[in-house]
A and B are shown apart, each in its own frame.
Chain A
Amino acid sequence: MLDSLSARLTAIFDRLGGQGRLSEENIQEALREVRVALLEADVNFKVVRGFIDRVKVRAVGQDVLKSLTPAQQVVKVVHDELVELLGGSGHRLAPAAHPPTVVMLIGLQGSGKTTTAAKLARLYAKQGQHPILAAADTYRPAAQDQLKTLGAQLDVPVVDDGRTPVEICRAALESAAARGLTPLILDTAGRLHIDETMLDELKQIRAAVKPHHVLLVVDAMTGQDAVTVADRFNQAVGIDAVILTKMDGDSRGGAALSVRHVTGRPIAFVGMGEKTDALEPFHPDRLASRILGMGDIVSLVEKAQQNVDQAQAEEMVRKLREETFTLEDFRAQLKQVRALGPLDQVMGMLPFGKMLKGAPKELSGEQADLDRFEAIICSMTPGERRNPEVINGSRRQRIARGSGSSVQDVNRLLKQFAQLKKMMKQFKSMEGRLGKLKGLGGFPMPRG
């Protein structure tokens, strides 16, 4: 998929000509595009069917807002509807009246239960609680070792006493009560949603320890079958909320909408990485954008805010304006770009990033350039950094040797720096004409 939904819709409405009002006829083709986008995002086709009908009802007859094009208007209606369906943000796992609060994780094999159990424990510990883990996966080889290793890393006790999963969970509950630890997080074995024997085991655990929150762990890359999985688990065991894992990849995560639709249960958290701190609250608006292929701009902005020092950015703008921008500042700027993470991951969060996905090699080349430029600047003397004009042939050779690069690389850097300064001069003269130019140190924000 090369272009985002908005771009495709724009093309359709361009063909139709300017439309002041959305009608059944003029949104027909647009809705077909919406349908394909949702299917490509792995939303179940039955859910898509109902969704399109609702969007149609909502959109037909709407006046196109002055500030929007018809394409944007349709995207807005679709987006709003998605957000509404995905439910409110940050489902809170309420503590039980009588501790310990018991949280039980269930799901298919390989959905990420054990990792998520550790992440939850870490999250609770960070909030000042004293969690305890139960390793109730007695089937997968070394699954209990895995949880014990993670527990030791987090300094969270792990109970694995007992022969059967039910015994282990019971022992863990007693241990939690006796030691005054809460919440108790139960990690159960992965199982198929059609394996009656294994589902019975979950029911037994449920009956034995009466968990306050049963959480279904779902892989964000799941396809159409997500509805069957969620429905069977919900019917057999009953679930209270959902955790969506492996959202740090490039899957569009439409399975979340399917699961939400068939179970009616909210999404509590999303897993965003392999490390135990990578568990985040769920944001319906961000997922909606992602499902529609519009990129996760909010996440990128947040990441930028976390990593880019505002004061430093303002200082940079001042220097640019006063033309005192040196290679030293250039290096600081490079550092900030790098702090956002590997370039290809940053691009993945942008709507047009998909277009660049075809060229990941060039991107990692850019990444290598950033690394090399930093090394080259580091090999310069402070005087050279402040005043690059003094860098003659023999200095260039010295810098190249010192940074493990070639003279050509040094030349390239100096050329780019000169270009940057020239560009800044142009900006400055533009600024004079156009009034204040704001946000120079910020990031170019593509329109969604």
Chain B
Amino acid sequence: MSLFSGLKERLRDGLKRSQEYLATGLATVLEADRPIDDTLYEELEELLIAADLGAAIAADFTNRAREEVMFGTVTRADQLRPLFRRFLVDALKPAAQPLNLDARPSVLLMLGVNGAGKTTTAAKLAASLKGDGRQVLLAAADTFRAAAIEQLETWGTRIGVDVIRQAAGSDPAAVVFDAVKAALARRADVLVVDTAGRLHTKSNLMDELAKLRRVIERQCPGGPHESLMVLDAPTGQNGFAQAQMFHEAIGLSGVCLTKLDGTAKGGIVVRIVRELKLPIKLVGVGERVEDLKAFDADAFVDALVPADPAGGPRE
């Protein structure tokens, strides 16, 4: 399956730039002969903060490192790198889970705040699943933003996937209703639903989303089989509030982390995974369809804390 092959290389490829940037920082922080002192801890903590892991998690990791040093399991500064990598991998390992595509049709609901990349991700996902030989349908349930439907239709034509749509401004629940009906009638394997961007603080829009969920549930028991929050990597600490409130409102099945091809590292997902126990189902590392990948904890941690200062292979 194209979606789950060669992803480690790809992710590393896409993250190379941020890796290079961070590697220079870490090289100086973690020189072997550096004394382990408060300044070093502070610098380590700031590296994690710089990757958007948040002050609380950065402090927690640093404190755990202090303990290891206290117990004598770590004696040199350059041993801290593998230690931090272990903390991160331990935290993120449970997050690598594949998409749930067993049902037929499998209904995948894409949601998130404005501008996170829902439409693009929905289209790329549809293309990728089609490439695996599945019959895929797209639903244009963003009826609010101007030309959102046209945007998805252009994608549909480009990737050869039918788009179920209605006029702009129509009821998204009606679009979803039609789309699920069409998916059932055509015996499609997967239906990917693109919804309008909404801030998690707007209660009326969250209610609308819950309604979309109910419409899917009613017609297609067990659905939606995935409710994926699309989160872009530049997002800071607010990403946690987003995940928390979307999760409360409709129950998420996972997160898609997009735009990892910039310099942002998307560290907020560490907190989302740790506290909300949500998996990361997909990552976007570039503009091409092939750049949407399954999440790999090792590759992701490689980008956050490279294995060695040159950014070469891991130990």
Contact = CB atoms under 8 A, between A and B. Distances in A.
A224 B49 contact: yes
B199 A246 contact: yes
Contact of B200 (A193, A249, A252): A249
Q: Is the interface of B mostly helix, strand, loop or mixed?
A: loop
Interface residues of B, number: 51
Contact of A219 (B146, B151, B200, B234): B234
20 contacts: A39-B49, A40-B54, A40-B55, A110-B115, A146-B147, A149-B147, A194-B262, A221-B239, A223-B268, A224-B49, A225-B52, A225-B262, A229-B262, A246-B115, A250-B199, A250-B201, A251-B237, A252-B238, A344-B201, A345-B202
Contact of A228 (B113, B144, B203, B263): B263
B147 A360 contact: no
Contacts of B235: 219, 221-223
A295 B145 CA distance: 29
Contact of B234 (A45, A223, A250): A223
A194 B233 CA distance: 15
Contacts of B238: 42, 221, 249-252
Contact of A255 (B51, B148, B236): B236
Contact of B115 (A45, A109, A252): A109
A423 interface: no
Interface in A245-268: 246, 248-252, 254-255
Contacts of B144: 274
A143 B232 CA distance: 19
B154 A142 contact: yes
A193 B262 contact: yes
B261 interface: yes
Contact of B113 (A109, A192, A249, A360): A249
B12 interface: no
Interface in A191-211: 192-194
The residue in A148, A192, A193, A224 that gathers the most chain B C-beta atoms within 10 A of its C-beta is A224
A345 B54 CA distance: 25
B242 to A, nearest CB: 8
B40 to A, nearest CB: 16
B115 A146 contact: no
Contact of A143 (B46, B151, B199, B239): B151
A246 B146 contact: no
Interface string A142-170: 11011111100100000000000000000
A299 to B, nearest CB: 14
Interface in B140-155: 144-148, 150-151, 153-155
A363 B17 CA distance: 45
Contacts of A45: 46, 49-50
B315 interface: no
Interface string B29-60: 00000000000000000100111101100000
A141 interface: yes
Given A223-B264, A225-B262, A141 B155 contact: yes
B259 interface: yes
Contacts of B146: 145-147, 149-150, 153
Interface in A339-398: 342, 344-345, 348, 360-361, 363-364, 367
A23 B85 CA distance: 40
B245 A360 contact: yes
Contacts of B50: 44-45, 224
Contacts of A246: 113-115, 199
A140 interface: yes
Given A42-B236, A194-B262, A249 B199 contact: yes
A348 B245 CA distance: 13
A252 B238 CA distance: 8
B102 interface: no
B101 interface: no
B204 interface: yes
Given A149-B146, A254-B236, 13 more contacts: A41-B237, A42-B238, A108-B259, A110-B114, A110-B232, A112-B114, A112-B115, A153-B146, A221-B242, A223-B235, A348-B201, A363-B203, A364-B203
Nearest to B196: A274
Interface string B181-207: 000000000000000000111111000
Given A40-B237, A45-B50, A345 B115 contact: no
Interface in A18-62: 35-36, 39-42, 44-45
A73 interface: no
